[in-house]
Amino acid sequence: MKRVVQILLIFICFLLQCTLFQSIAFAGIVPNLMVIVTSIYGFVEGRSDGMIAGFISGLLMDIFYADFLGINMLIFLYIGYVNGVANRVFYPDDIKFPILFISLSDLAYLFLTYFFGFLLRARFDIGYYFLHVILPEAAYTIVVATIVYIPLQRIIYRLKTFERESD
């Protein structure tokens, strides 16, 4: 039951990311909801659930928008895991740590994508990519994360306690 809800939630986030989020693009830059939801799953539920959330997010992105399967799956898998480690210092009402972790995760994702997708194809101008893609996306993602963090975290947390009571 928990898994079904988890898959459903990530599914919804992916759909929003590819449709509605594209229309709130600011100067062509879209915030990354997939990183946000994967990270939050990591904080609230721990390593295993963070990993699975990342795995599903990466899989969806790979199927529809990548040339081959696997690369986003791997990156998001590790984002979920690392955020799951932060589960130990997680307090539901504290927003500073989660936001810090979300922005670090997004930066990690962006740098890895630059490395595998661009640097390996001899696009060396990292300064340009940093200023025009990496920095704006990270900043926009932080803004969106501060807005959606509380509701998303509440949903996941509520589901978790609900599950425990019904056990």
Partner 1 sequence: MARIKLKRRKFTIPSQYLLLLLTAVSILLMILSFTTDVIPALFNNIAGYTVVPFKAGLTEISTYVNTRADDFREVQEVLSENAALKAQVDELTQQNDKLTEERFELIDLRELFELDAEYEEYDKIGARVIGKDPGNWYSVFVIDKGEEDGIKEGMNVISGAGLVGIVTKTGAHWAQVRSIIDDDSNVSGRMLNTSDNLIVYGSLESIGNGTIEFGQLRDPDDEVDVGDKIVTSNISDRYLPGIAIGYITSIKKDPNNLTKSGMLTPLVDFEHLDVVLVITEMKEDNGL
> Is residue 59 involved in binding partner 1 (CB under 8 A)?
yes
Closest approach, Cβ 90 to partner 1, in A, equals 15
The binder of partner 1 chosen from 18, 99, 119, 159 (CB under 8 A): 18
Return d(Cα 145, Cα 102) in angstroms, integer. Answer: 8
Amino acid sitting at position 63:
I
Question: What are the φ/ψ torsions at residue 124 (nearest 5 degrees)?
Answer: -90, -10
Neighbouring residues of 94: CB distance < 8 A, sequence distance ≥ 6: none
Contact region with partner 1 (CB under 8 A), list: 32-40, 92-100, 142-150, 158-166: 32-40
Nearest to residue 79, comparing CAs of 111, 98, 55, 59? 55
The binder of partner 1 chosen from 3, 11, 92, 97 (CB under 8 A): 11
> Is residue 28 involved in binding partner 1 (CB under 8 A)?
yes
Q: Cα dihedral angle (30, 31, 34, 36), rounded to 10 degrees?
A: 180
Lay out the site mask for partner 1 across 103-142 (x = CB under 8 A, - = otherwise): ----------xx--xx--x-x-x--xx--xx--xx-----
DSSP letter for each residue of 133-167: IIHHHHHHHHHHHHHHHHHHHHHHHHHHHHHHHH-
> Is residue 29 involved in binding partner 1 (CB under 8 A)?
yes
> Is residue 91 involved in binding partner 1 (CB under 8 A)?
no
Residues of the shown chain interacting with partner 1 in the complex, contacts defined by CB under 8 A: 11, 14-23, 28-30, 32-34, 46-48, 51-52, 55, 58-61, 63-65, 67-71, 73-74, 77, 81, 84, 113-114, 117-118, 121, 123, 125, 128-129, 132-133, 136-137, 167
